[in-house]
Structure formats: structure tokens, C-alpha cells
Structure 1
Amino acid sequence: ERNVRHVVCYRNNAAVTLWSLGNETGHGDDFRAAISAIRELDPSRPVHWERGNIDADVDSCMYPSVDWVIARGKLGDLPRDSAETMKIWPTEDQSAGKPIFLCEYAHAMGNAVGNLAEYWDAIYSYDALIGGCIWDWVDQALWKYTGRVDPKTGKPERFFAYGGDWDEQPNDGPFCCNGVVLPTREVSAKLVEVAHVYRNLIVRKEPDGSLSLENRFGFTSADAFDGEWEFVADGKTVARGAFAVPAVPPLSRGALAWPAIDRAAVAEGAECFVNFIFKTRTATDLVPVGWVVARTQIDAGGAWRFADVSPAEDATADGVKIAEDARTVTVQAGPTKAVFCRKTGTLARLEMKGRTILKDAAPGLAAGPRLTCMRAFTDNDIWMRAKFFDSGLTQLRYHPEPVVVEGHAVKTAVKVTGSKSAGFRHETVWTFAPDGSVVLANTAMPFGTFPPAIPRLGLTWILDKDLQEVAYYGRGPYENYIDRRTASLLGEWRTTVDGLSEEYVRPQDNGCRTDVRWVSFADSTGAGVRFAASQPLFVQASRYAAEDLEFSRHRNGQQRFRSPLVPRDGIHVNLDVLQTGLGGGSCGPAPMEKYTIKVPQTLAWNVRMAPL
């Protein structure tokens, strides 16, 4: 009766494409009767029922992996009675020659929606794959008042509460916070990625170097939109213009011409891209004129010069002086002064052009770079969190060897250990140049028994709290991760430390920027430091340490607790060379293997820092 009422109520709504009987129950005669009743009431639409695929018109599945989706696409594109069916799919819940709809996928809980692009590459590759529904739209959290006054606003203090915050049992903790937007309906980095993957105008660079335009709109010609282009060289937009969008019909492809670009002022070999942007030409009730509906970044030649990050040839010049005493090694290189602490085996103080870049808060509390591998686990890191904790790598200890001066280089070596056998030996050769630049040649050598995956690997620095102005050349402007970055274009972006962060109802790892060529941190006068590396970096900067975020709110299955985040005195910066992706493990698959850091091998890389 419920399904009959549903169909009678909505069958004249043109937006309805198929009927679905319900969600997450068993299957039986009652549902078979419902299917029959629906078909009699509305024979024009197919019936979907995830728990009874064999009786429904459309197969379904919840939270499959990308590999599963590809295999199911191959099955669906076979003839209905193909002899190959059982070789590909040995069960009866999926059928050859039958479409499939992913009624739930890409669980968007917390920092999420990893490898969405790969899902849709698969969906567009097979006719039988007809789409899916991200679960879901909005975080379902409620304001809860604490009884205190918010010191920032002077109003009653409140926070977003979720399962368990009222001591109700049972509860699912933050499992209801699985939307692509916050409870306040603010745009999130997740939503930006979804919009990009779902866009209907896609520019491609073909193998012969020509361009094509695919129009995925069902009824609208591509020339209904205005086109703009931007020419980007080494991160800077150096030219822009408009172009006439060709009249590519709906659901088809056509040629697109490269814009006429004068490269005379661009350095030879510069890393170049062309951004193609499509905007609305007319307003609708919901969308104004000039609204961006799609953008694509196309490689236009050249490459970034990662090899430039190497020790300076003039590092032995007279402009570099080194002094030693029982506790420290001090290097003066032009405008840079670096003080190494023998007790910690790393920098204790760094000044560039008279500006303090970092300084130990107290003896033994290192602000200089430390090799680290933990992050504040996301809701989707559930697949690796327990094993990582079991590995003993959550609380690292640092055991330095004697700091050695060889010529005009400083060598440090630190044994990094957890509470069990896994750890690293981290060796660094610091080479100074008279211009004040410093190159760190790092080698990380793992030892012991590692968990199946680690979340990240890189150097954590604690910079002076006033270096809050951030500029970088990498993917932006929104937060992006290795498996959620297609919407983030390479370019030069400017923001602040706070602007890098992304809010989640339950605090967790956030604010990453990928494919970073260089990043700088400056104070209000522009003084500061710039970092670059011998390979693309994953960069994060926050006023909180990973520990602060990890233990700030309860997870599913825990008694409620809430530790309000208190900013640290310094800025915690991660310059990583490896990071595991997000995936969808809160209710679905872990990140794809290509986005997962397995037990690491010996890794070598350089980092160069220079004064601004």
C-alpha cells in the first residue's frame, strides 16, 4: 500500500526516472507484489529494488569499489543470455544485459569523496552503468548549547552535536554527518569536487595534440554558453581571453580550437596550462548570468624544474661560517642564521633576514623539522586506524646521533621510533649558500614491522605564529587530496593559515594541498620563508597539532567527549612526500591501491628553503 500510494502521488512528475521500493530490508513475496502493482500503475518506468535485483528491472548495489563497478559494467554490456555471464559473475544477484544503478556510493562522511573521478570514468565507459547517488547531501547535526558564553562572539556558546552527545543509546556517533555540505549548507571542498566530476562540458587533449569538446547535456547545445580561457605559466595567469564555444550537439563530441596565445614573454621550458571556462549566458530562476558551469585545465607544454632543488654549487664560499660549542652548531649564511640543537638533532632556531622563522618553545621541544607519519584520522580512515595504532607509530620518539660538521655542511641523523618495532632512520645533510638558502637532503629508511598502510610521510615544522600569510604554487584554491583533486587547478594561490583549513563536524585531518611546487609563509610585512622540493609536495598548515584534532570529539561507539580546540602558539606545517588518499571507508571501500602508501621503502628527497 505504501508503494502504491507513492506511485499514484508522483507518477505525473516528469523528474521521476524510476521507482524504488525502499531501503535496506529483506526481500520476499510482499515486495514482489509491490513490484507487480507498480508495473500495473506505471508501465512507463523501470522498478529498482536493491534487495531484490532478480525481480527488479534495474540491478543495484551499495558502496562497491571502482574495480567492482568496472567488472559490473563489462557484465551489463553483454547480451542478456550470454554464455560468458557466469565466468564474469558467478552469482545471481547481478545479470548480464541489465542496467545497474548505484543507489548509494561515495559515502561523504567527514573528509571524504575519494576517487569519485574514477567511478565516473567507469560509468561513462559502459552503457549498463547508469549512475548513482552519493550518500548524502547534508551533515545531519544539531546545535547544542554549552551554557557558556562564546568569547569570540559574546553570545551563548554552541557546537554541532551528533549521535551520543545527549547520552542516548544506541547511537551511531558522527555517522549522520555524511553530507557534501555542512549543516549550515556552506560550500565544501567535497561539493566542489562533485560539481567538477559531474560537469557536462569537458575539454580533452587528444593524442595528436588537438582539442575536443564533449557535451554531456541531454538537450542543450554547447554554444548556449560563453567561453573564456586563461593561459598559466609557472603558476601565474599571463594572458586571458574569450572564445566562441562551438555548437556541439547534446550527447556528442566536436572539435575545439586552441586559443591564439603569444608566448613571447614566457620563459623557455616554463610549465604551461590553458584553463577553459564555460559560463551561463542567460539567467534562470536559480543561476545568474556569468555563473561558471564547467572548467578544465589542459597541459600546454613545459615542466616544472624540480631538479633545481639541489645543494648550491657555491656552498663552500666564504659567505658561510659555522661555529660549534657543546650544545649547539650555529651556521651564518648571508642573511640566514641557523642554530642546531645537539640534544634534539634538528634546528632549534632559524632566522632569515632578521625575521624569526622558527624557535624552540623550550629546550628539547623541537620546532625544527621532524619526520612524521601520522595524521588526525578521517572518518574514512577507519580501515587503517586500528592497525596503525597497533603498530606503535602514533607517538614517535626521536633519538639523535651527534651532529656532524663536514666542510660547510651539517649532517644530522635521528632514529625515529614508536612503541613497537616499526620506525625510521632519518638522515639529513644541510647545505648552506651565501644567499641564505638552505637545502635539506633527506633520506628516510624504515625498519621493523609496519602496518599495511600509513597515512602520510614527511617533515613537520613548527613555524612562528605570525607567519600566517600563505602563497603556493600547486592545486587550489580548495582543500584537495591525492584522490580528490580533479576540481583543483594548478596555479599560484594566496590565502592564510586559517584559510587553508576545512571545517568538519568531527574535527579530523584537513586542509591539504597537493602537487605543490613551492609554498611560502610570511608575516604582515612580507618577511618569511619559501619552501620547495625535488618532487611535488603535499602541504598542510594549521594552528593545531594532529593530536589536538584526533582526540577532540568522540567516534562511533565511544562515550561522548568534547575537547574544544585551542590554537597552539606555533603554526604546524607538514611538508609531505607521500600521502594516502581518502577513499570512502566509513561505509564502503578504502582508497584505491594507487592512492595507498604501503610499507615504505627507503626514500630520498630534497627540500630547499630560502628567505623572502
Structure 2
Amino acid sequence: DWTQNWHHVAGIYNGKSISLFIDNKKVAEEPVTGNITNFPFPLNVGKNAETHGQHMSRYLCDAIIDQVGIFQKAIDINDLFAAKPDLKNIAALWLDFEQEQNDGEFFSYGIGARTYGSISPDRVPEPEMWQMKKSAQPISVKWSNAEKMEIEVQNRNFFTNTNAFEARWNLEENGISIASGKLEVDVEPEAKRIYVLPIQKPQLKEGATYLTTVSFHSKEATQWAPKGFELCWDQLELPWIVPADKKMVQHQTNPLKVIDNEQRLIVSGVNFDYTFNKADGQLCSMKYMDKELLKQGGQLNVWRAPVANELDDWTNPALKISPRTEGYGRMVANAWYSIGLDNMKSKLESFRVENKGENVIVTVREIALFGNADRAGFENEMIYMISPDGEISLQHTINPNGKMPMSLPRIGTKWVFDDQMQNVEWFGRGPQENYPDRKTGYRTGLYQSTVDAMFVPYLIPQDCGLRTDNHYVRLTNAEGIGIEFSAAEPFNFNCYNYSTENLSKAKQTYQLIKSDGVTFNFDYQTTGVGCTAIGVLDKYQTIPQAIQFTSSIKPFIINK
């Protein structure tokens, strides 16, 4: 008699068994022990979030539901059935639907829908549009002989000659244009030709990166694009390399000062103080020009808020998801949640300080275990070499041990900087977001942005805003005080004004709450985002393996 009738339904778990009651009568009971697992799904009433994803093979509950209560302890069924007034006060969650509460706005993607469009509902192109344009461009340029400045131009158009477009070249030094010009290119449809770029070799700088970009633009305005609109481009690296001289040892008149006690290690120099917490080995403070830059020092990081493809069960048949645990859904992220990759636990093994010349060496060794697998994790060693000028050379060695997942979302370090560090400059791919498996559509250059502008508000909150193949990145505050990360090898990074935990748990954008610091992920390797149906190709996955990466970290102030 459920149609047109109200019924009271209650489930009670008391640590020994779980019972189901309907209208104060026990209708089922099963023996159960242990703690209730916090799965990565929102609370649902009338719907199973784990099985009701993008594929909807069953109806949702269409009943009218009222007086929903969840409690932190078992409540007597008689009290529940009587709906005592004080129940609402002791409930962890109580929904009586008597009032409307507006917590924000979001775009709905419906029931059983996917969010893989390349244009947002507000008609803003998403970052992948630039890769789609690049992958399909009909004209390509590559080196024929880089020493002689000879390029091969291939025209894949079926009917249009390249002379219908204006060809341009641009010479860039460390991402900055230093020369440019036009090029007469006459290649028949479906043909190739060799041309010589009229580029004069400049006075080369030590350690500089030289690139040239050849692009094709519309000669006239059309209904869909203005005159000069860029249609195709390719960026080529020039064989001009002058190795940078190694940093010369300069004897400082102001040597480093070290304060070492039971709780803290403080290394100080001119205008800077670095503090390590000896209880966990963390670099917990970086003061520069009397400004605190740091909220949380670098920690081993292998987690990211799962991207939409990692939350979708469509890729399930194509991938051998391992390990897999019931309750975490039929999705790629199951393997990571199953072992507790999002909740790793670290144990400090050793903390050592030594002087080497004018530098101070701090060596931190720890064991980082998966949250749900205490026999698997990483040996993690971070060696900080602090110079008298404030620069830190960080050598990070990571060795996996025990049973590993099939892949990792990323591997690198996570930092949290002061919330005033909102300006970002980087020399790498951009300006739009790009990931390892969709990065060729974003040219290497010198870019400036802000933390908020780099965040992409996808319909499902997830990791976003990555920039790949970087030489350096700088975060600064309004006063021009900042921190620079650089490395001899290319690295990836992203930053956002939210915690990674918030990004992982939020299901709609209105649930994102700005934190009191800037989360900064410095990645040695990052897994791609994959395709809707086949997941991430093997060569774009971050495979658990031993890795050693050296980066340079230094505070600075911009001379205005």
C-alpha cells in the first residue's frame, strides 16, 4: 500500500548488526561489524550514487520524501518512530524541507548525462578546443635542415593553395619575441615544399631557449573570423644552445645562521628565514623581506581531484582497474580510493642537518603509506641544500614499495602558499590549460595570469588548470614579493584557491569554498585526462617507479 500512503522507514546500525524497520516493525536484519566507510560519493536518498552514474538502467525513486535524519549513534526505533522534537537537535543531518536555502548556482547536466562538451553552457570555449583546432590544422611545418634554417611546409588542403593565407615567422628568446617577419609560401594542395627562414642568428645568451613559430593567417575578413585570424601554426626549436655556466661559488660576507633545538631548525640569511618542524620534517615557514610566504611546505604528492573521465564508468571495460574495492564505484578512481591514495600517512624516519662549505644541507627521510594499505607506499627522501643567497636546491628521491596501483594521478610535491600570492608567471606551454595527452595545441611562451584566471570551472569540480613543459614558474603578491620554482628538466604545475580535498569531494561548483592559502602542485610527471570511452593511453600514464628530480626554489622581489 505504498501508493498515496506515507510510511516510516529507518535503518539502524549498532556496531553488531544493521536492521531495517518499516512503520516501527523490523523487517530485516543482518550481522555487521566495523566502522562505516566514508566513500567518495555524496549522500543520496532514493538513489544509489555508486550505480546510478552516467548509465541509467533503472528508475530513480519517485516517492515524496520528508523528515530525513542521520545520526552519529544508534537511536532507539521507538524514539525515531515517535519523531521526538529533540531528534532534530542531535542529528548530524536533518532535512524536513520546510525552508528553501540558496547556497549558490550551478549548471545542471541532467540525469544520465555526461559533461564532455568542449563549450560550456554559458558558451565559453573550454581549453581542449585549442587542441582540437591544432590537431586538425591542414598546414604543418617541420624542420628539413635546422642548421640551414630549411623548413618543410606540407599542405593537406584538398583544393586551397597556401598562398591564400599570409605566412608569418616569429623568433622567440625565452618566450619573448625578438624578431618577426613574413614569408612567401606557395604550396599546392596535397603537396610539400622546402623554404628557408630568413632569420638572422642573434647574439646568443647563456642558457637561453630559442624557438621560432611559423603561422598562417587569413588575408581578408570573413563572416566567421577577422582579417589576420590565425589558422595554423607550428613551433620549432632552434639548435642554438649556449650552456649556462654553473653557479659560481661566491664567498658570502653574510654566512648562514643556524638555530637548532628539539622542536625547530631555523636557517637564516640576508632577508630570509626558513624553519623546519623536526617532528615531521616539514619546511613549515619561509619568510622573505619579513613576509611569510608559506602555509604548508612541500610534501610528496601523488593525488589529484579525479577528472571527469576518472569518475566515469564508460572507460571501465577498456581498462584493467586494479586494485578494485566494492563501494568505490565502477570507475578508474576506484583503484586510487581503494588503497587510500587520497589519505596517505607519513612517518618520519630521520632528520639530519650538516654544513657543506657555505651551504646548509637538510636531509629528511620518511615512509609515506597508503591510507588503506599499511604495507605499501613510498620511501621518500628530500634533500634541501640552502645557499647563503636564499636559494634552495631540492633533490627529491621517491621509491615505491609494496603493491602499487596500475597508475598514479601525478607524482611530485604539493605546497600551500600565502593567499596573497595570486599572480602567476611561467615559461612553458600556454596560455590555456594543457595536460600531457593534449598539449601540442599550446605553444611554449612566457605568460602571466592569476590563480583565479587559471582555474577552469568545469561542471564537475576536478583537477584543472595544469600547465606542462615548464622551465620556471613564479608566484607573487601585490608587492612583488614571490617564490620561483625552476628545474633543468621540464615540469608541470597547477595552482588554485581551494583545497585538493574540497575539489575531490565537491559535486557542483557552488560547493567549492576558497581556502586561506594557494594550493600549488609541482609535478615531475602527471597523468593525462584521456578520452571519453578509452581512458588515458599507456604512454600518458604516470607509472609507479623510482624517480629522482632536482628543482630550484628561491624567493625574490620584483624591482619596480
Matched, 1:580 2:527: yes
The alpha-carbon distance between structure 1 residues 179 and 214, as it changes in their structure 2 partners (threshold 3 A), is same
Q: Could you tell me how far apart the structure 1 residues matched to 2:429 and 2:186 are?
A: 31
SS in 2 for 1:380: helix
Q: Quick check: 1:332 aligned with 2:268? A: yes
Residue 120 of structure 2 aligns to a residue whose secondary structure is coil
User: Structure 1 residue aligned with 2:353, among 405, 408, 411?
Assistant: 405
Question: Percent same amino acid at aligned positions?
Answer: 25
SS of residue matched to 1:403: strand
Does the 8 A contact of 2:206 with 2:243 survive in 1? no
Q: Is the 8 A contact 1:427 1:443 kept in 2?
A: yes
Q: Could you say what secondary structure the match of 1:368 adopts?
A: strand
1:241 shift after superposition:
2.1
| Structure 2 counterpart of 1:159 | 106
Please tell me the residue identity of whatever aligns with 2:138: N
Matching residue of 2:239: 301
1:218 counterpart = 2:173 = no
Aligned partner of residue 196 in structure 1, secondary structure: helix
Deviates more, 1:532-541 or 1:516-525: 532-541
> Does the 8 Å contact 2:460/2:509 carry over to 1?
no
What residue ranges of structure 1 are gaps of 5+ in the alignment? Answer: 1-108, 110-145, 151-156, 164-170, 360-366, 554-560
Q: For residue 236 of structure 1, report the CA deviation from its aligned partner.
A: 2.1
Match in the other structure for 1:369: 298
- CA deviations on 1:572-601 (whole Å, 9 max, x unpaired) are 0000101111221x4x2122211112222x
Is the 2:205–2:242 contact (alpha carbons within 8 Å) kept by the matching residues of 1?
A: no
Cα contact 1:307–1:534 (8 A) shared by 2: no
- Tell me, in whole angstroms, the C-alpha distance in 2 between the residues paired with 1:307 and 1:374: 36
1:290 aligned to 2:238? no
> How do residues 137-148 of structure 1 correspond to structure 2 at under 5 angstroms?
none
- Identify unmatched segments of 5+ residues in structure 2: 1-53, 55-98, 317-331
Q: Shift in Å at residue 303 of structure 1? A: 5.3
The equivalent position to 2:535 in structure 1, one of 576, 587, 590, is: 590
Aligned match of 1:256? 195
Counterpart for residue 378 of structure 1: 307
Q: How does 1:11-50 map to 2 (within 5 A)?
A: none
Distance 1:148 1:259 in 2: 65
Letter in 1 for 2:540: Y
Q: Please tell me the residue identity of whatever aligns with 2:405.
A: P
| Superposed CA offset, 1:59-98 (max 9, x none) | xxxxxxxxxxxxxxxxxxxxxxxxxxxxxxxxxxxxxxxx
Could you tell which deviates more after superposition, 442-451 or 475-484?
442-451
Residues 378, 401 of structure 2: 8 Å contact kept = yes
* Superposition TM-score, scaled by structure 2 size: 0.73
Counterpart residue type for residue 462 of structure 1: V
Q: Distance in 2 between matches of 1:316 and 1:403?
A: 27
* Structure 1 residue identity aligned to 2:190: L
1:235 aligns with 2:175: yes
The answer to whether structure 1 residue 517 and structure 2 residue 517 are counterparts is: no
1:591 partner letter: V
Distance of aligned partners of 1:461 and 1:269 in 2 relative to their CA distance in 1, 3 Å threshold: closer
Cα 1:304–1:184 shift into 2, 3 Å:
farther
Aligned partners of 1:534 and 1:605 also within 8 Å:
no
User: What CA distance in whole angstroms lies between the structure 2 residues aligned with 1:423 and 1:316?
Assistant: 41
Asked if the contact 1:393–1:423 (Cα under 8 Å) also holds between the matched residues in 2, the reply is no
Residue pair 1:330, 1:337 contacting (<8 A) in 2 also = yes
1:308-327 paired onto structure 2 within 5 Å: 313=249, 319-327=255-263
Distance 1:235 1:289 in 2: 25
Please tell me the residue identity of whatever aligns with 1:417.
L
The corresponding residue for 2:282 is 346
> Structure 1 residues 465-474 or 247-256, which shifts more?
247-256
Q: 1:563 to 1:185 in 2, by over 3 A?
A: closer
Query: In 2, Cα distance between the equivalents of 1:531 and 1:305?
Result: 20
Q: Which residue number in structure 1 is paired with residue 551 of structure 2? A: 607
Report the counterpart of residue 293 of structure 2 in structure 1: 357
The alpha-carbon distance between structure 1 residues 606 and 545, as it changes in their structure 2 partners (threshold 3 A), is: same
Pick closer, same or farther for the CA change 1:223–1:377 going to 2, 3 Å: same
Structure 1 residue 529: Cα displacement: 0.9
CA–CA separation in structure 1 for the residues paired with 2:338 and 2:492 = 26
1:393 to 341, 354, 360: 341
Contact residue 426 and residue 442 of structure 1 kept, 8 A = yes
- 1:566 aligns with 513
Give a deviation string over 1:402-431, Cα, whole Å, max 9, x none.
Answer: 432111211212221122022112111211
How big is the shift at 1:221?
1.3
Give the CA deviation at 1:193. Answer: 0.5
Q: How far apart are the structure 1 equivalents of 2:253 and 2:300? A: 30
Structure 1 residues 474 and 285, CA, compared in 2 at 3 Å: closer, same or farther?
same
Residue type of the alignment partner of 2:534: P
When normalised by structure 1's length, the TM-score is 0.67
Contact 2:397 2:549 in 1 (8 A): yes
What SS does the corresponding residue of 1:158 show, helix, strand or coil? coil
Preserved contact between residue 431 and residue 447 of structure 2 (Cα < 8 Å): yes
Per the TM alignment, residue 261 of structure 1 is displaced from its structure 2 partner at its CA by 2.6
Identify, as 1 or 2, the structure richer in helix. 1
Judged with a 3 Å threshold, the aligned counterparts in structure 2 of structure 1 residues 545 and 345 are, in CA distance, closer, same or farther, namely same
**Pair 450,423 (structure 1): closer, same or farther in 2 beyond 3 Å:** same
2:198 pairs with 1:198: no
TM-fit CA distance, 1:539: 0.5
CA shift for structure 1 position 438: 1.1
Structure with more of its chain in strand, by fraction: 2
| Counterparts of 1:236 and 1:400, CA distance in 2 | 44
Paired residues in the alignment total: 432
Q: Does 1:531 align with 2:478?
A: no
Q: Alpha-carbon deviation of 1:316?
A: 9.2
The superposition leaves residues 199-236 of structure 1 with CA deviations (integer Å, 9 ceiling, x where unpaired) of 12211112575201111222221111112221112222
Structure 2: distance between partners of 1:325 and 1:535: 36
Matched letter for residue 158 of structure 1: E
Residue 366 of structure 2 is aligned to residue 414 of structure 1: yes
How far off its partner does 1:357 sit? 1.2
The residue type paired with residue 589 of structure 1 is I
Change (3 A) 1:342 1:501: same
Compute the displacement of 1:552 (Å): 0.8
Instruction: Summarize deviations over 1:355-402 as a string: whole Å, max 9, x none.
Output: 32103xxxxxxx000001011111222453111111222201222234
